Amino acid sequence: MQSKGDLLLPAFYTCVKPMKQATMLYILPLLAGVSLLIPFLLFAGCTGQAPDSRLEGTGWTLTGYVTNGTPGQVPAGTSVTIDFGNGGSLTGSAGCNHYFASYEAKGTTIAISQAGSTLMYCTTPGVMEQESSYLSFLGQVKTFMVEGDRLVLADGKGIAILLFAKTVPPVPESFAGTNWTLESFHSSDAASSVISGTSISALFGDDGQVTGSAGCNSYFASYTLSGITLTIGEPGSTKKYCTTPEGVMPQENTYLANLGQARTFAIQGTRMSLADANGTTLLSFTKSALPE
């Protein structure tokens, strides 16, 4: 029978009792091996759980797609792209319209939200049909594979449906001296196209003046630039009132208001965007020919 004193002994008592010298000599190498193994296992465990970052910050151009096992080619003269931004944002061109969505990638799996897009209509034969098919395929994507400068997006059965090559960025255009034509307005997570039959432009001159068409009236304003920081003065304009197309005057007011809120700009190839003080995109432009 145990004495009262024995009951008070901690459970690890036998672990701290003096050992025989032979036992100690046997255990020391084992403890040394374990002490080396633990950091390795911890490191392996942590790196094995690291999020996949092969897509973040990359841009790709569609080279082909597969429908019911039959390969298809992108129509000549069109460009379909996908750009994986930081923080899970996804944007690109569907061939006619610009689209936007969110994505989440882990390992080789990827989930892409339903895409929104601008609402332009392009008359080039086959472009709108291709755009519809592409956005539909994008919603079916479940896995991805990156091999050098190639990206493959596959469906839930592992069948490749969209094939891309890494985009080679074009040389950026100059901010000043380039005539920019507005493609879309942005608000929250939505984007809207310029009303069909109207054209909105911006030409930032070397003299610190920006001029252009707001859709109905010509406008002018001063601007200052420091790095990518931009400040635009209150615009002035001519005083015409346009009745067609429908909505042209509210669109003009929205454009001039957004222009005044711009605080930064970004140029990627032949495209430029203006953003507010929070970094939220307000206006997206593309390069166009200088007015005569």
Q: CA-based angle 88:91:92, to the nearest 5?
A: 150
Give the integer Cα–Cα distance in Å for 43 and 11.
32
Above 60 in pLDDT, residue 199? yes
Which pLDDT score is estimated for 281? 87
pLDDT one-digit tens code per residue, 140-151: 999 999 998 999
Cβ neighbors of 36 (< 8 A, separation 6 or more) are none
The distance from CA 280 to its chain's CA centroid, rounded to whole angstroms, is 13
pLDDT one-digit tens code per residue, 266-290: 888 888 999 998 888 899 999 988 7
109 close to 143: Cβ distance less than 8 angstroms: yes
**Number of C-alpha atoms within 13 angstroms, CB side, residue 287?**
14
Q: Picking from 23-27, 80-84, 215-219, 279-283, which range would have the lowest pLDDT averaged per residue?
A: 23-27
Residue 100, CA distances (Å) to 53, 112, 113, 123 in order? 20, 10, 9, 22
Which pLDDT score is estimated for 53? 58
Q: What value does the mean pLDDT of the chain take?
A: 80
Which pLDDT score is estimated for 146? 93
- What mean pLDDT do residues 95-118 have? 90
Above 90 in pLDDT, residue 216? yes
Q: How confident is the model at residue 4 (pLDDT cuts 50, 70, 90)?
A: very low
Which domains, ranges and CATH numbers included, belong to the chain?
A: 58-166 (2.40.128.270), 179-288 (2.40.128.270)
Residue showing tokens 């507010």: 276
Strand residues in 39-157 grouped as ranges (E):
58-67, 70-73, 81-84, 89-93, 98-106, 109-112, 116-117, 143-147, 150-154
Which pLDDT score is estimated for 118? 81
Give the integer Cα–Cα distance in Å for 89 and 177.
31
pTM for this prediction: 0.53
